[in-house]
Amino acid sequence: MHNFCIFRSLPCPNNEGLGLEKEMLIVLNYDPAVAGPLLFFARALETQHGIPRAWRRAGRWLHTELRIRGICMKMISMNPEKSSARNLPKSGELDIERALERTRLMPETARVTLATVREFVPKGPVATLDYTIADSAGVPSVERWNRTEGRDGTLLGFSYTDGGETILNFDHHSRAREFERRVSTTNLVSQFLREGNVVEGVPLIHHTDCDSVLASLLASGGAESNELFDNAAIAADHTGARNEIADLLQALGPFRDYTRSLYALNALLHGEQLDGETRARVEKRQRDRAQVAALPFETFAHRVVLAHIKDRVDGELAPAAFPRAAVILLARPMPDVSNRWEIKVRAGLAFPEGRSLHELSLDAYGGRWNAGSTKRSGGTALTPEHYAELVSRQIEEVFGNQRA
């Protein structure tokens, strides 16, 4: 018996091949034995000329979605009761007690310095995870520390010697240009460990989203490096794709309860029932994802998508909702500020590899290479439509025909 999940998307005029059609059904949770025939059926619809054009478009949409969702990805069922212990990392178990014993959670703050770190770990080596270290008296910012590289020369993080003790930093948010790609802190720690290294000292985190929890679990020795965690971190930070681990840990993140997150993850991987509040949080995230996918939107040249929103929505879910978009704009009026707009800007799955939103020099934009908004600058006076046209022109001028 297969677990089917059906989504509905709205009409999209002038969709420039974005892969979204009216009233189409998509099977997200399926056995690979079912996925193959589905893909064949979708391809047959797409290429069959003796049927209405709407059905051919539907076939193209389904074909695209199946490819994007990845029929060969090692995804686990969204039904916690159907999960099984075979989904566990190769070690077979999570060592939660080890993770809790070694890891420290400090208050989340916008600016962390080495002095901040030493307030919580006064001496000994430390692994700072999923946040950057700013400059302070006598200590440069993390980008000027010694580079920690993989065997292939890939930048994994930075290190600094403090009183003879090593401070490691693994953080995909770092301003280093090498991190302007779809990589998460979990992936950096995972590669570091796969190459035979050991994270010495105390893993120190300051928030409890999916990436921080998984990175600390690996760094503490609570789990071995594994593809399941790597995929979950990317889904949480970059694609917004439906992923059971990512959805669970992102839903629990606001609680800032590291112990609760670890035990919930362990229950999920063992196929045990989650508590009612946790299930409700995960279900809300699924509703939020469906809400984003159902937003009416406009498309502009160079795969720019614009959607007007009334309330705050989770922008991290947008890339999977608009899978062929290069840049996604979510716009709403600035509260209590007339004629100004808060526009969330998100790099989509078709955003050119190795490029940054900062290169587009967008009006009032503030944020990271792949996500930000105009809110930090007090909004933009440009209308959302004008802003979308500007983004489109800048993509053409700066990136040319380069795509992901």
Is the residue at 369 inside a domain? yes
- Measured CA to CA, the distance from residue 344 to residue 315 in angstroms comes to 7
88 three-class SS: coil
Of 37, 30, 27, residue with least CA distance to 61:
27
pLDDT tens, N- to C-terminus, the chain (404 residues)? 333 333 333 333 333 344 433 333 333 343 444 555 665 566 566 555 566 666 666 665 665 555 444 432 322 233 333 333 445 555 457 999 999 999 999 999 989 999 999 999 999 999 999 999 999 877 888 989 999 999 999 999 999 999 999 999 999 999 899 999 999 999 999 999 999 999 999 999 999 999 999 999 999 999 999 999 999 999 999 999 999 999 999 999 999 999 999 999 999 999 999 999 999 999 999 999 999 999 999 999 999 999 999 988 889 999 999 999 999 999 999 988 789 999 999 999 999 999 999 999 999 999 999 999 999 999 999 999 999 999 999 999 999 877 65
- Measured CA to CA, the distance from residue 262 to residue 315 in angstroms comes to 25
User: Is 357 found in the same domain as 250?
Assistant: no
- Measured CA to CA, the distance from residue 131 to residue 185 in angstroms comes to 9
Instruction: Pick the last residue of a domain from 34, 50, 72.
Output: 72
User: Is 240 found in the same domain as 110?
Assistant: yes
Beta bridge partners of 306: 298, 329
- Measured CA to CA, the distance from residue 352 to residue 305 in angstroms comes to 15
A 10 A CB-CB count for 186 gives 31
Of 315, 403, 23, 217, residue with least CA distance to 7:
23
With tokens 């930075």, the residue in question is 158
- Digit-coded pLDDT (tens) for 48-67: 556 666 666 666 566 555 54
User: Is 158 found in the same domain as 106?
Assistant: yes
Q: How many domains does the chain have?
A: 3
User: Is 206 found in the same domain as 124?
Assistant: yes
A 10 A CB-CB count for 358 gives 15
Is the residue at 301 inside a domain? yes
pLDDT of residue 40: 58
User: Is 304 found in the same domain as 184?
Assistant: no
Q: How many CA atoms lie within 13 A of 376 on its CB side?
A: 11
Is the residue at 10 inside a domain? yes
- Digit-coded pLDDT (tens) for 20-52: 333 333 333 434 445 556 655 665 665 555 666
pLDDT of residue 259: 97
User: Is 157 found in the same domain as 115?
Assistant: yes
pLDDT of residue 318: 96
User: Going by C-beta distance under 8 Å and a sequence separation of 6 or more, which residues neighbour residue 138?
Assistant: none
Amino acid (1-letter code) at residue 286: Q
Q: Which domain, by its residues, includes 329?
A: 297-399
Of 259, 261, 220, residue with least CA distance to 127:
220
User: Is 229 found in the same domain as 167?
Assistant: yes
Is the residue at 77 inside a domain? no
What's this model's pTM, rounded to 2 decimal places? Answer: 0.78
Sheet containing 202-205: which strands, arranged edge to edge?
104-105, 202-205, 126-129, 165-170, 155-162, 146-149
Specify the DSSP element, H or E, that contains 328: strand 327-333
- Measured CA to CA, the distance from residue 7 to residue 219 in angstroms comes to 37
Instruction: Pick the last residue of a domain from 286, 312, 335.
Output: 286
User: Going by C-beta distance under 8 Å and a sequence separation of 6 or more, which residues neighbour residue 320?
Assistant: 68, 239, 240, 241, 242, 289, 293, 349
Instruction: Pick the last residue of a domain from 265, 286, 307.
Output: 286
User: Is 318 found in the same domain as 180?
Assistant: no
pLDDT of residue 19: 41
Of 68, 53, 89, 55, residue with least CA distance to 19:
68
DSSP designation for 380: B
- Measured CA to CA, the distance from residue 396 to residue 387 in angstroms comes to 14
Structure-block tokens of residue 179: 């991190």
Is the residue at 225 inside a domain? yes
Q: 3-class secondary structure for 350-371? A: CCCCCCCHHHHCCCCCEECCCE
pLDDT of residue 72: 28
User: Is 130 found in the same domain as 67?
Assistant: no
User: Is 301 found in the same domain as 281?
Assistant: no
- Measured CA to CA, the distance from residue 129 to residue 206 in angstroms comes to 8
Q: Any idea what the CATH number is for the domain that residue 393 is in?
A: 3.10.310
